[in-house]
Amino acid sequence: MKNALILTALLFSLLLIFACGGRESLTPTSLSSIDLAPSTATMLAYSAGQFIATGYDDDGDEIYFIPASWAIYPPEFGVIEDQGLNDDDEPYAVLKPTGVGTAELHCVFNAVRGVALLSASATLESITISPEATRMLVGNTTRFVATAKDVLGNVLTTFSPTWELRGGIGIITVLEHNRKYVDVEVTTYGVGTLEAFLQGLVGTAEITATTESS
């Protein structure tokens, strides 16, 4: 009877481990610090940006956790439009400034707090795409990135442009959690134009798709 009870307890423990995905169980004292990325963000009013939280234990090793809350101080700076875990099981929050100024984004678990410093500008001056022109082999994929600046020349850290590929030369995949990046796969030869739209402005890049490597 005693052996049967021990075996039952062991099987129950194994089931708990598998149910948790094999992760270390998190106690209130396991989490020592939280880092937010980006830790400093220059944003555009009414353009959302995403922040990722990473937890660490006392030894500096990454540790899995789910935030108890996300908060903006002062709260009138903006709104948190979405939060949860991304496909890599990383805690994230999507924040949209509703005006201009400075603020802090806080990610909280018990007494542990991660902080990102925020600023928001009202006017977009320019948006560009890098690389501006490139030659690609049919079947290949290249990553492009948009850069946006406000009227003071500050480079915006987080923003969400709308992407479009003209010319019918391929398909685009926008990174779900950082929309200033896009992957372009060319599927046929020709010349196309990649466009990034943000608040009435557009950045462009020319793509030449070829079947020849030279």
Query: For 122-148, how does the pLDDT look when each residue is reduced to its tens digit (9 = 90+)?
Result: 889 999 999 999 999 999 999 999 999
**pLDDT (mean) for 137-162:** 92
**pLDDT (mean) for 141-169:** 92
In CATH terms, the fold of domain 124-210 is Immunoglobulin-like (2.60.40)
In whole angstroms, give the CA distance from residue 103 to residue 107. Answer: 13
Residue among 130, 112, 125 at smallest CA distance from 154: 125
Token pair for residue 93? Answer: 């929050």
> Is residue 88 pLDDT above 80, yes or no?
yes
> Is residue 184 pLDDT above 80, yes or no?
yes
- Residue extent(s) of CATH 2.60.40.10 domains in the chain: 28-121, 124-210
Return the number of other C-beta atoms located less than 10 Å from residue 34's C-beta. Answer: 21
> Is residue 2 pLDDT above 90, yes or no?
no
Query: For 29-70, how does the pLDDT look when each residue is reduced to its tens digit (9 = 90+)?
Result: 589 999 999 999 999 888 899 999 999 999 999 999 999 999
Domain 28-121 top-level CATH class: mainly beta
